[in-house]
Structure 1
Amino acid sequence: MYVFDLIKRLVHKTNIPTLIYLVINVFVITGIIALLLIGFTGITFWQEFALALILYMISLFIAMSPFGEWILRLQTGCKKIKRAEQKEFIESIFQEVYEDAKKLDPHIPNKVKLYINGDSEPNAFATGRKTICITEGLLYMPQDQIKATLGHEFGHLAHKDTDLILLVSVGNLIVSAFVLGFKLVIDIGHITTSIFAAILGGTEGVIMAICNAIYHFFITLFVTGIMWLWTKIGIWLVMKSSRSNEYEADEFSYRLGYGNALCAMLDSLGGSTAKGLFASLESSHPDKDARIMHLQELGATYRVVYGAK
Structure 2
Amino acid sequence: MMRILLFLATNLAVVLIASITLSLFGFNGFMAANGVDLNLNQLLIFCAVFGFAGSLFSLFISKWMAKMSTGTQIITQPRTRHEQWLLQTVEELSREAGIKMPEVGIFPAYEANAFATGWNKNDALVAVSQGLLERFSPDEVKAVLAHEIGHVANGDMVTLALVQGVVNTFVMFFARIIGNFVDKVIFKNEQGQGIAYYIATIVAELVLGILASVIVMWFSRRREFRADEAGARLAGTNAMIGALQRLRSEQGVPVQMPDSLNAFGINGGLKHGLAGLLMTHPPLEDRIEALRRRG
| 2:89 aligned residue | 96
Output the TM-score relative to the length of structure 2.
Answer: 0.63
Output the amino acid matched with 1:100.
L
Partner secondary structure for residue 112 of structure 2: coil
Tell whether 2:224 aligns with 1:231: no
Q: How does 1:207-222 map to 2 (within 5 A)?
A: 216=195, 218-219=196-197, 221-222=199-200
CA distance in structure 1 between the aligned counterparts of 2:227 and 2:263, rounded to whole angstroms: 18
Deviation at 1:100, TM superposition (A): 3.4
Aligned mate of 1:127, from 110, 117, 122: 117
Residue 203 of structure 1 corresponds to none
User: How many angstroms apart in 2 are the aligned matches of 1:175 and 1:51?
Assistant: 11
8 Å Cα contact 2:70-2:108 kept in structure 1: no
SS at match of 2:126: strand
Any residues of structure 2 matched to 1:290-301 within 5 Å, and which? 290-299=286-295
Count of residue pairs brought into register by the alignment? 228
Asked whether the equivalents of residues 132 and 153 of structure 1 are also in contact (C-alpha less than 8 Å), the reply is: yes
Q: Which residue of 1 aligns with 2:179?
A: none
- The residue that corresponds to 2:152 in the other structure is 157
In structure 1, which of residues 265, 272, 276 is the aligned counterpart of residue 243 of structure 2?
265
2:222 maps to 244
Instruction: Give the structure 1 partner of residue 260 of structure 2.
Output: 277
Give the greater-gyration-radius structure (CA): 1
CA RMSD in angstroms, aligned pairs only: 3.9
How far apart are residue 50 of structure 1 and its match? 2.8
Q: Indicate the structure whose relative CO is greater, using CA pairs within 8 Å and at least 6 residues apart.
A: 1
Query: In 1, Cα distance between the equivalents of 2:66 and 2:169?
Result: 15
Q: Report how far residue 231 of structure 1 moved.
A: 2.3
Distance 1:71 1:168 in 2: 20
Counterparts in 2 of 1:119 and 1:174: CA distance versus 1, 3 Å: farther
Q: Return the offset for 1:227.
A: 2.5
- Measure how far apart 1:258 and its partner are: 2.7
Out of 41, 48, 54, the residue aligned to residue 46 of structure 1 is 41
Shift of 1:228: 2.0
Q: In structure 1, what is the equivalent of residue 130 of structure 2?
A: 136
Q: Residues 114 and 133 of structure 1 are in contact (CA less than 8 Å); yes or no, is this contact kept in structure 2?
A: yes
Equivalent in the alignment of 1:289: 285
Q: Work out the percentage of aligned pairs sharing the same amino acid.
A: 23
* Pairwise CA distance, 1:223: 3.3
TM-score (norm 1): 0.60
Residue type matched to 1:138 in 2? L
Deviations 1:76-120 (A, max 9, x none): 5434248965x53134234324323422x32x2x24101222221
User: Unaligned stretches of 5+ in structure 2?
Assistant: 1-21, 177-193, 269-278
| Letter matched to residue 287 of structure 2 | R
Q: Which has more helix, going by share of residues?
A: 1
Cα shift at 1:234: 2.2
1:165-202 alpha-carbon deviations (Å, 9 max, x no partner) = 444677899999x89xx9xxxxxxxxxxxxxxxxxxxx
What are structure 1's unaligned runs of at least 5 residues? 1-29, 183-214, 300-309
Counterpart position of 2:186: none
Quote the Cα distance in structure 1 between the aligned partners of 2:230 and 2:292.
14
Question: Structure 1 CA distance, aligned partners of 2:285 and 2:65?
Answer: 33
CA separation of 1:77 and 1:225: change in aligned 2, threshold 3 A: farther
Distance in 2 between the 1:71 and 1:89 partners?
26
